[in-house]
Amino acid sequence: MSNTFETSPRHTIQDAFFTPGSLLLIRKRLTQEKTSEEHMALYNLRYRVYCHEARFLNPDDYPDNLERDEYDAVSEHFLASNARNKNEIIGTVRLVRWSERLSFPTVLHCPSLLKKLERQKFPLESTAEISRLCIARQYRSCAVDGLHGAKINTDNRDQWKRFSAVILELFKIMYLSSRYDLGITHWIATFEDSLYRMLERYGVYFELLAPEYIDYYGKVRIYGACIRRVEDEMRRRRPELAAFFER
């Protein structure tokens, strides 16, 4: 099925395309002030997932039903919404930029991370942490299936495709924005094994920075990626996905 939106240059940061069923995804990087209506909607999605569904955070600490923290002020925010349902926000993620005062969120759980990044020659000024990745409940397999649903029952192929589409759209807008607008050259992230396996299956290459697991909103390990290497590996492993990411 063809796009309903006019094709735009690959470095733009908003686009849409059809996915299985009645889902019409729109991806977007938010550039307004951190109190816009869309920001409030993504903070509310984070509140529902982190506080009530995954139960990683105490909802009593967020009486306004908005999950926010100090890293939001130094973050680039991205969202995926469903144009077929009044632009309902169904997925979100942020890229936390390095700052002297805050460092990166994962440093609180792994104090040796900065030394690991130095050994791997990750330039702090152009490195960002992938953070607060979460998908709305109806696009995951169940309410307690992690933050993004990578343990989804693959027997349900339509639901799997819908979930995969949301994840890939969020990674695509992060990639386009990092590569062409933000000057970000490297990513770090903490992934559950199931999510990492899914990304690897699609040819999105990340390197394991530390073999040990940490307890950071679940059992996760720390990964890193040079964006140029992500490009090269994706073109080699999954050229069709590379074409999708770059258009």
Q: Is the CB of residue 140 less than 8 Å from the CB of residue 146?
A: yes
Please state which CATH number belongs to domain 14-246.
3.40.630.30
pLDDT, tens only, 178-221: 999 999 999 999 999 988 988 888 888 899 999 999 999 989 99
For the chain, the structural domain boundaries read 14-246
The C-alpha angle 242, 27, 170, rounded to 5 degrees, equals 55
pTM of the entire structure?
0.84
pLDDT, tens only, 80-111: 998 888 888 999 999 999 999 999 999 999 99
How confident is the model over 113-130, as a mean pLDDT?
A: 96
- Residues 74 and 5: their CA atoms lie apart, in Å, by 31
Confidence band of 13 (pLDDT split at 50, 70, 90): very low
> According to the model, what pLDDT value does residue 24 have?
77
Burial class (CB in 10 A: 0-12, 13-18, 19+), 115: exposed
Confidence band of 10 (pLDDT split at 50, 70, 90): very low
Residue 153 has pLDDT above 50, yes or no: no
> According to the model, what pLDDT value does residue 161 have?
54
**What share of the chain in percent tops pLDDT 70?**
81
Q: How many residues does the chain have?
A: 247
pLDDT, tens only, 26-82: 889 998 777 789 999 999 999 999 999 989 999 999 999 999 999 999 999 999 998
State the chain's maximal CA–CA distance in angstroms: 48
- How confident is the prediction for the chain on average, in pLDDT? 83
Residue type, 100: E
Strands across the sheet containing 88-97: 14-18, 24-30, 75-82, 88-97, 127-135, 186-191, 219-226, 207-215
Q: Is the CB of residue 5 less than 8 Å from the CB of residue 16?
A: yes
Q: Is the CB of residue 162 less than 8 Å from the CB of residue 19?
A: yes
Give the residue among 100, 159, 102 at the shortest CA–CA distance from 125.
100
- Name beta bridge partners: 14: 28
